Amino acid sequence: MTTHSPHDVLAGRDPADLSREELATLGMKLDDVEIQHTADRWPVPGTRAERRAERQVATWFAITALTGLAFLAVFMFWPWEYESPGSDRHLVYLLYTPLLGLTLGLSVFALGMGVFAYAKRFLPEETAVQRRHDGPSPDLDRRTIAAQFVQAGTTSGIGRRRLITRTAGLGAAVMGLGVGVFALGGFVKNPWKGGDKAALWTTPWAPVNGEKVFLRRDTGDPHDVSLVRPEDLDAGAMETVFPFRESDREDEEALVNALRGSDTPVMLIRLRPGTPTVQRKGFENFNYGDYWAFSKICTHLGCPTSLFEQRSNRILCPCHQSQFDAAHYAKPIFGPAARALPQLPLDVDEEGYFIAKGDFGEPVGPGFWERKS
């Protein structure tokens, strides 16, 4: 094989005067590509065998479109809200994620099979040999490469195979739409829908219709409600607690949600007597004597701040070592967290059980785009 220079190949002609075919041929010569064998897979157009092959490829693309549509339908309309194991609709709830995976997986698989089948059944059989090049492509190569691509498309016969191009376009469009909706759909929410009572601003600790919200432990059984009283904690102790309303006692879903919610865990801390404390401006009287309650969700990236060191009154987040001073309204004193842990206002009812006087003083967890503090 001989190496061709642009000068030899052009033989004095201006590249702008060359047709697409000539440019494509030229590009191959410049790339030192030699076609050693080429044969059209369907030398006689329009045979029954060719049409059958075309329908097979189109079927894959049609499956891509159908499963892409099914994915979209599941994503938008399937009832995904939690249903407890005792409910008739628990299976429907359980099927949501598997169906998303199945429909999207089938759509991607069918698209891949369609492309594969097309290449196998319709691209010309070709054997080409190319010499290796070093360094960047010269300017003329860049001009010819586009022509080569178009030429490859033309010789592949894709232009006259309407059934395949239409089904492939439909399949890719529906699947692309499905993936786009999946990726972006979750963001299309109005955080202000519901005003100050919107989900982003409130937690299950917020009082509803004046009903008391008690502090309970998680014993492992949602129905085993163990309420917390001040004498349950020794000085310097910490306990993780969750919200409980009497009206939820028989409602398994509400009980589970309160125990598993991302914004419900609270650290109830009893400081040692005589510990000097600082109350936060605007949140005065949120503590109940030596008892302080803070959201357990770290304000850095949302890990549980599970460690309390009673000698230094420090709360430690194990993820990136942020530390908060429990005696100083859980203000951050070390590490990447920049905001204090949200504080829960505490009180004790007439029967001696801890209750929340209201919701947290600010949104729980890491900041989001429209937080007020």
Residues that bind ligand FES (CB under 6 A): 298, 300-303, 317, 319-320, 322, 335-337
Nearer to ligand FES, 271 or 317 (CB): 317
Amino acid at 117: A
Residue linked to tokens 């891949």 = 112
Nearer to ligand FES, 24 or 337 (CB): 337
Instruction: Give the C-alpha separation, 86 to 121, whole Å.
Output: 53
Alpha helices in 31-161 (DSSP H): 48-77, 90-122, 139-156
Nearer to ligand FES, 25 or 323 (CB): 323
Nearer to ligand FES, 157 or 365 (CB): 365
Residue linked to tokens 């099914």 = 70
Nearer to ligand FES, 52 or 320 (CB): 320
Torsion of CA 229, 278, 359, 225, to 10 degrees: -20
Min dist CB 96 to ligand FES, Å, is 29
Min dist CB 323 to ligand FES, Å, is 9
E strand residue ranges, the chain: 33-39, 125-130, 214-217, 226-227, 238-244, 266-270, 291-295, 307-309, 314-316, 323-325, 331-334, 346-348, 354-356
Annotation says 328 is catalytic = no
Residue 12 neighbours by CB under 8 Å, 6+ apart: none
Choose among 354, 351, 362, 365: nearest CA to 213. Answer: 354
Nearer to ligand FES, 247 or 262 (CB): 262
Of 90, 133, 223, 320, which one is the catalytic site residue? 320
Residue linked to tokens 């949501």 = 96
Min dist CB 369 to ligand FES, Å, is 19
Min dist CB 218 to ligand FES, Å, is 21
Q: Name the token pair of 300.
A: 């850095």
User: Phi-psi region for residue 131, left (φ > 0), alpha (ψ -120 to 50) or beta?
Assistant: beta
DSSP label at 4? Answer: P
Min dist CB 294 to ligand FES, Å, is 13
Min dist CB 260 to ligand FES, Å, is 19
Annotation says 223 is catalytic = no
Of 4, 90, 300, 328, which one is the catalytic site residue? 300
- Give catalytic residue positions: 300, 320
